[in-house]
Amino acid sequence: MPVPTYPSGTVRALLGTEHVSEATRAALQERLAAPATYEPQFLSAEAYALLEAVASRLFPQPDRPEQPIALAPALDDRLAKGLADGWRYDALPPDREAMRLGLGGIQEIAQSLFQADFLALAPEQQDAVLHALADGRPPGAAWQTLDAGRFFEELLAGLTETYYAHPLAQEEIGYVGMADLPAWTKIGLNEREDREPDEANEQRLSS
Amino acid sequence: MPDEETLEESVLNPVKPEIQDPLLRALLADEPAAAAAPVDTPLEQPQALPAEANEVDCVVIGLGAGGAPLLARLAMAGLKVVALEAGPWHNPGKDFATDEQAQNFLFWNDERLAAGRDPLAMGKNNSGTGVGGSTLHYTAYTPRPLPDDLHLKRDFGKGEDWPFGYEELEPYYEELEQFLGISGPTPYPWGPGRRKGYPLAPLPLNGAAQLMVRGAGKLGIRTSPAANAALSARYYQEGIGWREACTNRGFCQAGCSNGAKASMDVTFIPLAVKHGADIRPSSFVTEIERDAQGRITGVVYTQNGEQQRQRCRHLFLCAGSVETPRLLLLNELALTSGQVGKNLMAHPGVQVFGTFAESVRPNKGIPGALISQDTHRPQDADFVGGYLLQSIGIMPVTFAGQVARGRKFWGQRLRDYMKSYNHVAGINILGDCLPHADNYLELAEEKDARGLPKPRLHFTAQENEVRMNQHAEALMRRIWEAAGATDIWAFPRYAHVIGTARMGLSGDDAVVDANGRAFDVPNLYICDNSVFPSALSVNPALTIMALSLRTADKFLKSQQRRDA
């Protein structure tokens, strides 16, 4: 199946309408209005730069060269505030320690594979480092104590949930569930409410 | 064109709650509830903190599916009851956003440690907090168990039997279906015939459900619109008033904003308040106090940063299968059976997703619109028990997180796959689970933000669960292939934590008796999914509520005997 694409601007247009509740609008507008610059609150400047570089490979956004959806701030902010999400793999140390160890471990992989700092690597090399991490048995002393597979899973899930919580990422996948007032009445297969975006390539798929 | 789903127009039908228990009927007749009922208490009105010397008849800890029904029952019987709920009292109409991230406050977010080879995700998966507990974010999927679910040991020689049969719960299921306004098919295709049908017609089928009808139909598997505790039409209940129909938001798991879903905060809790129950939100219990004979005399809790004490004659512990055993372990209470924290079970809940040419838009409609219980006791099973099949809609952030964890996609590949979101549909199972010595809850050395030991949950799927998952995954893949899916993948998952303070016939191997009363402590009752002797092959919420009403009735009966 070809990858569907959706028209841009649909979510911003809907946010101003009565299809979106006050509480929903407030949550989404806060994300849209997030400041372009962020001063790390928990991670050191170096560690934060590394996290940003990792995030930009896990979620490359060549389509948003001017203003990519920022992912690292949410992770740093959560660590600074000590917020938990209800559980943690027992195999991992507490979140702050896991992040410190894991970022150090990513540098170790970069050094081991390419004898260079992660930030100095070409995008393909950075991807190779992340593949080694995702595979679960990367080189480096950090990974003797930190479960690489679980660390990668948590890092990726955290970034992914941050990314797809953003209204522009939701627009990218054709989701406008936030505009649910007064009701959805067309909920079956191939049914679409007028306010839901159609696929931009207009290919009508028949069942 | 897909089949048009024709939905009967439901009749707007004011229903008077029918009280099953003759004793409670008698109590109500003798002592009109109005005598004990103050005028409606507005939700936001802060409750005055009572002087600690006041002793009440009953304190209920936890206001989810286990605590809220019995709270209403006890209040209706004229008892003086206080409910302590760790979380706040929300105003869904105003505060609940149609946004997954913004709704994270519905989950029990204190950290729990997930250990074992199949660690149980907690937080949004298996927990809840707030007035209403986990029912604030349950999917509203409310099938009854089938009678043999309660007799695994009798039928297979493995697992445990419940200390009573289905006939003990049946009147409560019927009462709950009418009271909550459950939308479902009449007649119901599986299980014994029923005295009453569902009060409302089923909710409409969304895209995933229509696809499952198609795929299962080709394989000769029967399907039916499912029973869901969300209203397919406006509904009236004495003591509660009107509740509005479901608007197909599809956000049940992130909180219902219009009261269509029968969470406890829009059903049993207003009923309890009307009959005089004193609800104290944001009250976290730390200590359960006893006298020299071991009887509970009261509880100590923290509310708004202040320590409070509430004395009581009876305690109902309904804090869920993690906090209930944690409170028992922390207070060294009811531990002589050695079963507190043990027998931890979790429903096999493997999900299978596929991509379809048709647009599905899986965020719309009641998520679990369709059911099949043809797999309740599969002919070719190489395992004990069975499972149900359920079509699933899914919200985007939840889905994306599962893609990341389950497929380990990242980079452009993840972004491309997620662009198929509107063409993705899922099916999952909910299957029985056997208790095993390796699966248990304990208190860790590590402390949480409150300074209390974190619960550590050990879970490793054993041979029975592994075989059931394999059977189910293969079947669901066939269903999706028959329905025309491509790119089919499975997300292994376990849902609901069950069994950590189990019910049984003897204090040698169970924490509470068949009436929910602790063997060790005469004035302690426990009611939530921790008392389930076996996991059942259906979602637990309806059975927790049924047990809750039954526990209240058994308690009231014992009190009447004492008074007589």
Which helix (DSSP H) or strand (DSSP E) does residue B495 occupy?
A: strand B494-498
Question: For the segment B402-459, what is each residue's pLDDT rounded down to a tens digit?
Answer: 999 999 999 999 999 999 999 999 999 999 999 999 999 999 999 988 899 999 999 9
pLDDT, tens digit, 9 for 90 and up, residues B499-550: 999 999 999 999 999 999 999 999 999 999 999 999 999 999 999 999 999 9
Interchain pair B419, A182: CB under 8 A:
no
Say if the Cβ atoms of A180 and B249 lie within 8 Å.
Answer: yes
Residue A154 in any domain: the answer is: yes
Query: Among residues B126, B134, B125, B141, which one has the least CA distance to residue B209?
Result: B141
CA dist B277 and A170 (Å) reads 43
Q: Is B315 helix (H, G, I), strand (E, B) or coil?
A: strand
The answer to whether A31 and A165 are in contact (CB under 8 A) is yes
Buried b (16+ CB within 10 A) or exposed e, B181-191: bbbbeeebebb
- Let me know: does A156 contact B410? Beta carbons within 8 Å: yes
Helix (H) or strand (E) holding B407: helix B396-407
Q: For residue B401, give the nearest of B413, B418, B422, B389 by alpha carbon.
A: B418
Distance CA B356, CA A206 (A): 11
The predicted-structure confidence for B469-486, as pLDDT tens digits, reads as follows 999 999 999 999 999 999
What pLDDT, on the 0 to 100 scale, is given for residue B25?
Answer: 57
Nearby residues of B431 by Cβ (< 8 Å), 6 or more positions away: B347, B348, B349, B385, B386, B387, B388, B465, B468, B469, B472, B537
pLDDT by residue (tens digit) across B247-269?
999 999 999 999 999 999 999 99
Number of domains in chain A: 1
Which chain B residues are Cβ-neighbours of A57 within 8 angstroms? 411
In A, which residues are within 8 Å of B414 by CB distance? 58-59, 160
Angstrom distance (rounded) from CA B478 to CA A165: 33
A vs B: CB pairs below 8 A: 212
Cβ separation A189–B420 shorter than 8 A: no
CB contact under 8 A, B400 and A163: yes
Tokens 């599962």: give the residue.
B402
Determine the residue among B249, B415, B493 to mutate to test chain A binding: the one whose Cβ has the most chain A Cβ atoms within 10 Å: B415
Q: Phi/psi at A71 (nearest 5 deg)?
A: -110, -35
Q: For residue A18, give the amino acid letter.
A: E
- Give the other-Cβ count within 10 Å of B115's Cβ: 21
Pairing of strands B55-61, B81-84: parallel
Q: Tally helices (H) and strands (E) across chain B.
A: 13, 20
**A6 residue type, one letter:** Y
User: How many whole angstroms separate alpha carbon A133 and alpha carbon A102?
Assistant: 10
Q: Coil, strand or helix: which one is A165?
A: coil
Question: Would you call B396 and A86 a contact, using CB atoms and an 8 Å cutoff?
Answer: no
Question: Do residue B405 and residue A153 have CB atoms under 8 angstroms apart?
Answer: yes
pLDDT of residue B52: 54
Decide the pairing of beta strands B370-372 and B387-392.
antiparallel
Which residues in chain B have Cβ-Cβ distances shorter than 8 Å to A183?
Answer: 247-249
DSSP secondary structure letter of residue A69: P
Q: The tokens of B123 are what?
A: 């937080």
Judge whether B327 lies within some domain: yes
φ, ψ at B31 (rounded to 5°):
-125, 95
Mean pLDDT for chain B? 92
Q: How far apart are CA B390 and CA A38, in angstroms?
A: 44
Residue of A24, A125, A187 for testing the chain B interface, max B β-carbons within 10 Å: A187
Q: Which of A3, A88, A190 sits opposite B359 (nearest CB)?
A: A190
Is residue B226 within 8 Å of B189, Cβ to Cβ? no
B490 φ/ψ angles, rounded to the nearest 5 degrees: -115, 140
Smallest CA–CA distance, residue B108 to chain A, in Å, is 6
Which of B96, B112, B247 faces A183 most closely, judged by CB atoms? B247
Contact criterion met (CB < 8 Å) for B102 and A156: no
Structure tokens at B247: 């608007």
Contact B411 A173 (CB under 8 A): no
Residue B224 CB: number of other CB atoms within 10 A? 18
- How confident is the model at residue B21, as a pLDDT? 58
DSSP code of A70?
P
A52 domain residue, yes or no: yes
Residues pairing with B241 in the sheet: B237
Domain CATH for B214: 3.50.50.60
Structural domain range at position A105: 10-172
Contacts of B210 in chain A (CB under 8 A): 188-189
CB neighbourhood size of A112 (10 A): 13
Backbone angles phi, psi at A167, to 5 degrees: -55, -35
Give residue for tokens 């690597």: A121
CA dihedral (B413, B414, B418, B424) positive or negative: positive
Which tokens hold the place of B475? 């079947």
SS3 state at A114:
helix
Closest CA in chain A for residue B399? A161
CA nearest to A44, candidates A52, A56, A36, A55: A52
H helices within chain A, ranges in order?
10-15, 22-32, 45-58, 72-81, 95-114, 123-134, 142-145, 148-164, 167-172
Cα B7 from Cα A194, distance rounded (Å): 22
Which residue bears the tokens 């490979």? A57
Write the residue in A85, A160, A174 that is nearest to B123 by C-beta.
A85
Q: Do A27 and B99 touch (CB under 8 A)?
A: yes
* B486 neighbourhood in chain A, CB within 8 Å: 1
Domain assignment present for B22: no
Chain A residues in contact with B487 by the CB 8 A cut-off are: 1
As a whole number of angstroms, the distance between CA B408 and CA A160 comes to 11
C-alpha distances (whole Å) from B394 to each of A175, B30, B111 are: 12, 49, 25
From chain A, the residues in CB contact with B422 under 8 A are 4, 173-175, 199
Q: In Å, how far from its chain's centre is CA B117?
A: 25
Which helix (H) or strand (E) covers residue B479, if one does?
helix B463-483
Burial class (CB in 10 A: 0-12, 13-18, 19+), B437: exposed
Chain A residues near residue B416 by CB distance under 8 angstroms: 3
Pairwise CB contact (< 8 Å): A58 & B410: yes
Asked if the structure places residue A5 within a domain, the reply is no
B157, exposed or middle or buried, with CB in 10 Å at 0-12, 13-18, 19+? exposed
Q: Pick from B435, B386, B448, B460: which is nearest to B190 by CA?
A: B386
Q: Which residues of chain B have pLDDT under 50?
A: 1-17, 31-42, 44-46, 50-51
For chain B, helix, strand, coil in percent to 5 are: 30, 20, 50
CB spacing of B422 vs A175 below 8 angstroms = yes
Provide, as residue numbers in chain A, all residues whose Cβ is less than 8 Å from the Cβ of B365: 184, 187
**Cα(B93)–Cα(B90) distance, rounded to whole angstroms?**
9
Which is nearest to B90 in space by CA: B125, B50, B39, B128?
A: B128
> What is residue B32's predicted lDDT score, i.e. its pLDDT?
40
pLDDT: is A205 or A191 the higher one? A191
| pLDDT tens track for A35-90 | 989 999 999 999 999 999 999 999 999 999 999 999 999 999 999 999 999 999 99
Task: Please answer yes or no on whether A189 and B419 come within 8 Å at the CB atom.
Answer: no
List the single best residue of B203, B244, B364, B457 to mutate versus A (max A Cβ within 10 A).
Answer: B364
pLDDT tens digit sequence for A117-159: 999 999 999 999 999 999 999 999 999 999 999 999 999 999 9
State whether A87 and B120 contact (CB < 8 Å): yes
Interface contact A175-B257, CB threshold 8 A: no
Q: Is there a domain that residue A82 lies in?
A: yes
pLDDT(A194) > 80: yes
> Chain B interface, mutation test: which of A25, A90, A178, most B Cβ atoms within 10 Å?
A90
pLDDT at B125: 85
Judge whether B250 and B257 are in contact, CB under 8 Å. no
Provide the token pair at B397: 């952030």
**Both structure tokens of B465:** 């669960």
* Residues of chain A positioned with their CB less than 8 A from the CB of B404: 153, 156-157, 159-161
Q: Identify the pLDDT of residue B471.
A: 98
Nearest Cα of chain B lies from the Cα of A109 at a distance, in angstroms, of 18
A192 domain-assigned: no
Domain that holds residue B102: 63-108+121-563
- The answer to whether A189 contacts B416, with C-beta atoms less than 8 Å apart, is no
Q: Give the nearest chain B residue to A21 (CA atoms).
A: B97
From A100, A89, A134, A149, select the one nearest B410 (Cα to Cα): A134
Query: What's the number of domains chain B is made of?
Result: 1
Q: Which amino acid is at B339?
A: Q
Our CA-based measurement puts residue A39 at a distance from the nearest CA of chain B, in whole angstroms, of 22
Cα–chain center distance at A110: 22
Q: What are the tokens at B284?
A: 């976290």
Going from the C-alpha of B515 to that of each of A116, B320, B439, the distances in angstroms are 67, 17, 25
Of A24, A58, A189, the CB nearest to B99: A24
**pTM of the prediction?**
0.92
A94: in domain: yes
* Domain-located, residue B526: yes
